[in-house]
Amino acid sequence: MSDERLCIMCQKPMDRISGIYCKECLKIHNDETRELKRKYREQGLCPNCGKKPMSGHVRCKRCQEVLDRAVRIYQNGFDPIELELDLKKLKKALENENKKC
């Protein structure tokens, strides 16, 4: 078995050290992602996941919580206890969201 890694999109040998896409496919993937997020924004949906945003916000509740958590970690530094509590809170919110569907 070869140790050569392949791009998951085109199956060609990787021309990058890390990641799952080759340079060419990465550009295609990024362009498609940008276009999808632009369409979501134009339709008034959460640009990350395409769900209905919270009233008065750009993002849905879950994506806003994830962003808020990332900003807190960036501003205050990494706190493993707070991170664990945040993850439990996010899991609970996800479970509640899935029950509604």
Give me the mean pLDDT over the 47-55 stretch: 93
CB 50 within 8 A of CB 62: no
Higher pLDDT, 84 or 56: 56
pTM score, whole prediction: 0.63
Residue at 49: amino acid letter: C
* Phi and psi based region of residue 57 (left: phi greater than 0; alpha: psi -120 to 50; beta: remaining): beta
Sign of the CA dihedral running 55, 51, 35, 26: positive
**Which secondary structure element, helix H or strand E, spans residue 82, and what is its range?**
helix 80-100
Could you give the 3-state DSSP secondary structure of residue 13?
Answer: strand
pLDDT band at 43 (very low <50, low <70, confident <90, very high): very high
Mean pLDDT over the full length of the chain: 86
* Helix ranges restricted to H, 5-56: 23-42
Give the type of residue at 100: K
